[in-house]
Structure 1
């Protein structure tokens, strides 16, 4: 295959925005499309090689996979190896267990399935996964495994028919992605069936170039470059992706492949020495950047500064140069590393991290080694509700009022209503009410902001569930008391995890007002229809998950500070300033009064954890609040 310097330039255009996007630079808000650029390039290059080998009757699956192993495995193995000491010293057991699972998944080229099951790619928690970025390698490897077999099976029908079959599959994949972003957005992002059309677009480009060559066209190649840049700078994490929105990126790459002849201005730009140099090290740079960023975020109690992240971006490039020179290049040299050696070494590159991952998973993230006895003892109290999996509704696991859980025996008199912050409260309150033979109904919906009587974009399921649940509570005469609890500060302003210690401000003033009024409407609707309403205010948020606080602290006296009271009062200032709007007939329980002294809000007291993460109360913390709720019920 004839070398095209502009393709390496395209790789640079892919990797730099991805790195700067993951570093948190808002200018590159759509930098994640760099992965899509890589997909199209991969489809083009691999198909070009396959067509050439098949037509020359020298194609071999073993040789193909051997070339892929030379390209992919050595640096991937070394990066995973380099992650191990940082994971050991910086991670808490739950993170180490997740990391161990990712080692397993990466070794099996199935990490896209793992991360699909774990988290949203754009969620703050995902930023602390060192191997998150390997999801795209998994998609490519799945393509590399299946596509050569597909070509071998279909080539007998003729080149044109194969091309049109690929076109049909590409359109079907695009249609699936357009459906999936509306119905299963996380699966849509991570899984190969909804990404295949991007790789297949590259494959179709290979067919065209192989048949008619590269047609010089400055205008079309410039449009291609402009389309890619447009998506890099104007898309963001709220853009449905992949979907029809990915077309400008994909078509942009295709236009450059087809029309950026070496004499065009775009090809000359992409072929400049520096850009090509970045393209040559792009694979290594892509592998290095995410572990560096993830471990930096894990280590820091505050969000790393832009300057620090820019330095780490440069470090990833420096490491990429070294790994390209001393690992990638030697392993791709058949004079230094024979085919036989690759076939012997490749299983080791996969089996070693796979084995470590299996051990780490089996040992629960090496909990016994990473924490002292005192730390383990305290962590053992940081538990959530045993009913969380079965009784907490969500967009993925939607169920309504009739299917909601009820605890325990007796007459149904009490309901707890709200978002995920009500789960442990409901269970703890039910335990407190059990001796009085009062049964409790648990109504909670994950990531559900106040939305009674309104419809908020992105929260349609939440709004529907809220309206139904409130209506049914009003009609349920046996329920006398309704306890309401929301993570109201996140609903109004966004989560603090990605910005701490800076306070988040993710919504406009009209949006904030709309949500606040919906919050008031929830309370007033219940109050005005004869319910005894008790509002449990949001518990103070911690500066980081309690497991990390425990690991950083020797926990000698059983008390563990979670956040300064000053920070929490500032975070909660808007709510405090409008609390007078709550009807006087509604009782208020404020965990701040229970968990904080004059200067600190505690994550644990007297050897008992009040939280199981950075904002949800544990059963023990919820019990402290539930006891106060019971007192209010008796007033």
Structure 2
């Protein structure tokens, strides 16, 4: 670092306050909040986190560089400031989530919350979430502390970054080369990883560090590369399109592209993350005198939101997530608006009465108190996780308890091969994924049928499609079809039933060719066989915990039934797709949704549940479907 031009020591180690950066924080947090509250309206809003990474890298690296250069850097002081900045609001959110969950969450929900509190307190949420399911999967909205993954990435970065900077300073290594080297390694690793494991690229720290380093590089440029650091920021020139304004406007354009063009199907972070990252870099580089920065981002409203952006980020998602949980995964618009308003109120209270006081008054001993408090809530979360969610909290005097549902689920899935073909029966060969097993269980209620099933536990593509979802599942699906087509049952069966999850968006554009090829192969082996496609089943709540919630008296059965019938049941687009596919192939079609929901979609009857999770029937649900199928006579006409 001796070769780099140093800022004067009397300039202080903290960068001058820039209200426009608080305004940029406001933009970032509003992106995230609006995305979580109304995901279909701002599908790329999650890129606000990437903007936060850049801001953090810029500000914190500026402090580190100047402190190290001035010989005033102290690891204990640095981490003490991090504790004062991060711990107070985070502790409040973790404690509040735990207390709320005590009264409203079920065993499995509370067990998971405990694990996430422990990982959040230890700043390893990103690692723990990586071992679970994806950020965009259906269960994501049922994880109230999902958003803490970003804190994990950030704090993991600051464990190593100050040490690397100090080492470079002592060894005389240029900061520019250090930043560039780690940046290239991290970015390249992210590009390679996303091709094989998108969740790893999203959550793991090494594939995200480059975003913070983008801010670090800008900090270096402003401190040590005078032509870049000052000429741009001053916005010299009378013309509106001076360097500062061009940088700022292009940065805004990049952010607009990011929030409007990036969505959950994009390969993200990857190359797409360059849009929010470069957008934030350009806006910060433009400096406070750029028109957008001065007139918009530095306005009182944007600065106010920016000042409460950290507690707002922490509060908003637990509130919205609990709304998803308590309203069966589909909270009303009013509920979400109220949740956002509540998050703003709590964020302001936290900033005004907690953060401001802690930052100005906390000394060394009180920092230890914060550390012990965070450790304590983490240990409480860990105990809750190890205690399986402390089920003693809940009522247990109603119909099916959680253990009963688990036992039924295990028993339901225990028979997977079928009852076998018989000479005195109509023999039916059933093929597909777990949805095929539900149809098998329904048909098993009629002793006129001899049944054989070939199914996988995955959401399988139809027959021999080369790609569908995760590649690890595709191979199992292809093998399942190959085993079935070579079995003796294919020639002995009178009816071939295909049942699957039917996700139109997940199938390739040439899906019909694979369906047609499979039907042709089946007909070639058994020209007399009748081929029947069963359409998709109705959906209910996001997880089987929705059902258990009623049994524990935690949530209202009438409210649940209303939610299911109004919002959660039918999938007309998928049903139309399945019906159209069957029609084009000239095979018979049974509308599973229409049959099951004739006279209303029964979720709970005679103290029994028809589903034990989002998409799978109980024994009662399967028998109920068969009763309704017989009443309609559609399937009976096929077996005569």
Shorter chain as denominator, the TM-score bin is 0.7 to 0.9
Q: What are the residue-to-residue correspondences of 1:74-153 with 2, within 5 Å?
A: 74-153=88-167
Mapped partners of 1:177, 1:377: distance in 2: 45
Mapped partners of 1:569, 1:71: distance in 2: 47
The structural deviation recorded for 1:544 is 5.5
The structural deviation recorded for 1:474 is 2.2
1:303 corresponds in structure 2 to 330
How big is each residue's C-alpha offset from its partner over 1:496-519, in whole Å with a ceiling of 9 and x where there is no partner? Answer: xxxxxxxxxxx9xx97xx667865
How big is each residue's C-alpha offset from its partner over 1:82-135, in whole Å with a ceiling of 9 and x where there is no partner? Answer: 223432333333222221211111111111122222222122321222111111
Q: What are the residue-to-residue correspondences of 1:46-65 with 2, within 5 Å?
A: 46-65=60-79
Judging changes above 3 Å, is the alpha-carbon distance between structure 1 residues 478 and 423 closer, same or farther for their aligned structure 2 residues? closer
Q: Which moved more, 1:599-608 or 1:294-303?
A: 599-608
1:205 corresponds in structure 2 to 218
Mapped partners of 1:579, 1:203: distance in 2: 54
Aligned residues of 1:407 and 1:430 also touching (Cα < 8 A): no
Among 219, 223, 234, the residue aligned to 2:261:
234
Mapped partners of 2:627, 2:339: distance in 1: 48
Q: Which moved more, 1:138-147 or 1:544-553?
A: 544-553
Aligned residues of 1:454 and 1:518 also touching (Cα < 8 A): no
The structural deviation recorded for 1:67 is 0.7
Among 564, 573, 576, the residue aligned to 1:574:
576
Judging changes above 3 Å, is the alpha-carbon distance between structure 1 residues 322 and 587 closer, same or farther for their aligned structure 2 residues? closer
Q: What are the residue-to-residue correspondences of 1:362-511 with 2, within 5 Å?
A: 362-377=386-401, 380-382=404-406, 407=417, 416-422=430-436, 442-444=454-456, 446-450=458-462, 452=464, 466=477, 469-477=480-488, 480-481=492-493, 483-488=497-502, 491-492=503-504
Mapped partners of 2:45, 2:151: distance in 1: 17
2:385 corresponds in structure 1 to 361
Aligned residues of 1:21 and 1:30 also touching (Cα < 8 A): yes
Judging changes above 3 Å, is the alpha-carbon distance between structure 1 residues 470 and 295 closer, same or farther for their aligned structure 2 residues? same
Partner-residue secondary structure (3-state), 2:601: strand
Judging changes above 3 Å, is the alpha-carbon distance between structure 1 residues 183 and 356 closer, same or farther for their aligned structure 2 residues? same
Judging changes above 3 Å, is the alpha-carbon distance between structure 1 residues 446 and 264 closer, same or farther for their aligned structure 2 residues? same
Mapped partners of 1:518, 1:87: distance in 2: 47
Q: Which moved more, 1:137-146 or 1:542-551?
A: 542-551
Partner-residue secondary structure (3-state), 1:53: helix
Mapped partners of 2:29, 2:313: distance in 1: 6
Judging changes above 3 Å, is the alpha-carbon distance between structure 1 residues 307 and 567 closer, same or farther for their aligned structure 2 residues? closer
Alignment length (residue pairs): 590
The structural deviation recorded for 1:33 is 0.8
Judging changes above 3 Å, is the alpha-carbon distance between structure 1 residues 358 and 234 closer, same or farther for their aligned structure 2 residues? same
Judging changes above 3 Å, is the alpha-carbon distance between structure 1 residues 228 and 451 closer, same or farther for their aligned structure 2 residues? farther
How big is each residue's C-alpha offset from its partner over 1:345-392, in whole Å with a ceiling of 9 and x where there is no partner? Answer: 32222322x233233223322334324232443762355765999x9x
The structural deviation recorded for 1:245 is 1.1
2:319 is the alignment partner of 1:266: no
Mapped partners of 2:483, 2:368: distance in 1: 64
Q: Which moved more, 1:283-292 or 1:446-455?
A: 446-455
Q: Which moved more, 1:297-306 or 1:234-243?
A: 297-306
Q: What are the residue-to-residue correspondences of 1:518-537 with 2, within 5 Å?
A: 522-523=518-519, 525-530=521-526, 537=535
Among 181, 185, 195, the residue aligned to 1:168:
181
The structural deviation recorded for 1:164 is 1.2
1:398 corresponds in structure 2 to none
Mapped partners of 1:58, 1:248: distance in 2: 36
2:540 is the alignment partner of 1:542: yes
Mapped partners of 1:306, 1:24: distance in 2: 9
Judging changes above 3 Å, is the alpha-carbon distance between structure 1 residues 182 and 385 closer, same or farther for their aligned structure 2 residues? farther
Partner-residue secondary structure (3-state), 2:602: strand
Aligned residues of 1:27 and 1:233 also touching (Cα < 8 A): no
Aligned residues of 2:106 and 2:394 also touching (Cα < 8 A): yes
2:5 corresponds in structure 1 to none
Among 224, 231, 243, the residue aligned to 1:215:
231
Mapped partners of 1:410, 1:73: distance in 2: 62
How big is each residue's C-alpha offset from its partner over 1:240-295, in whole Å with a ceiling of 9 and x where there is no partner? Answer: 1111111122122222333x233221331322222112111110111111012111
Judging changes above 3 Å, is the alpha-carbon distance between structure 1 residues 149 and 384 closer, same or farther for their aligned structure 2 residues? farther
1:402 corresponds in structure 2 to none
Judging changes above 3 Å, is the alpha-carbon distance between structure 1 residues 591 and 166 closer, same or farther for their aligned structure 2 residues? same
Mapped partners of 2:266, 2:51: distance in 1: 17
Mapped partners of 1:52, 1:425: distance in 2: 68
2:23 corresponds in structure 1 to 9
Aligned residues of 1:331 and 1:337 also touching (Cα < 8 A): yes
Partner-residue secondary structure (3-state), 2:183: helix
The structural deviation recorded for 1:310 is 3.5
Mapped partners of 2:433, 2:95: distance in 1: 40
The structural deviation recorded for 1:468 is 5.3
Q: Which moved more, 1:192-201 or 1:341-350?
A: 341-350
Please list every run of 5 or more consecutive structure 1 residues that lacks an aligned counterpart in the other structure: 392-404, 495-506
Partner-residue secondary structure (3-state), 2:431: strand
Q: Which moved more, 1:228-237 or 1:201-210?
A: 228-237
Mapped partners of 1:585, 1:9: distance in 2: 60
How big is each residue's C-alpha offset from its partner over 1:54-104, in whole Å with a ceiling of 9 and x where there is no partner? Answer: 222232222211111100011011112222343233333322222121111
- TM-score, length of structure 1 as denominator length: 0.80
Mapped partners of 2:445, 2:71: distance in 1: 73
Aligned residues of 2:102 and 2:393 also touching (Cα < 8 A): no
Mapped partners of 1:13, 1:589: distance in 2: 46
1:280 corresponds in structure 2 to 307
2:616 corresponds in structure 1 to 616
Larger radius of gyration: 2
Partner-residue secondary structure (3-state), 1:602: coil
Partner-residue secondary structure (3-state), 1:122: coil
1:346 corresponds in structure 2 to 371
Please list every run of 5 or more consecutive structure 2 residues that lacks an aligned counterpart in the other structure: 1-13, 233-242, 630-634
Aligned residues of 1:177 and 1:243 also touching (Cα < 8 A): yes
Judging changes above 3 Å, is the alpha-carbon distance between structure 1 residues 409 and 519 closer, same or farther for their aligned structure 2 residues? closer
The structural deviation recorded for 1:578 is 5.6
Judging changes above 3 Å, is the alpha-carbon distance between structure 1 residues 351 and 602 closer, same or farther for their aligned structure 2 residues? same
Partner-residue secondary structure (3-state), 2:264: coil
The structural deviation recorded for 1:452 is 4.7
> What root-mean-square deviation, in Å, do the aligned CA atoms of Structure 1 and Structure 2 show?
4.3
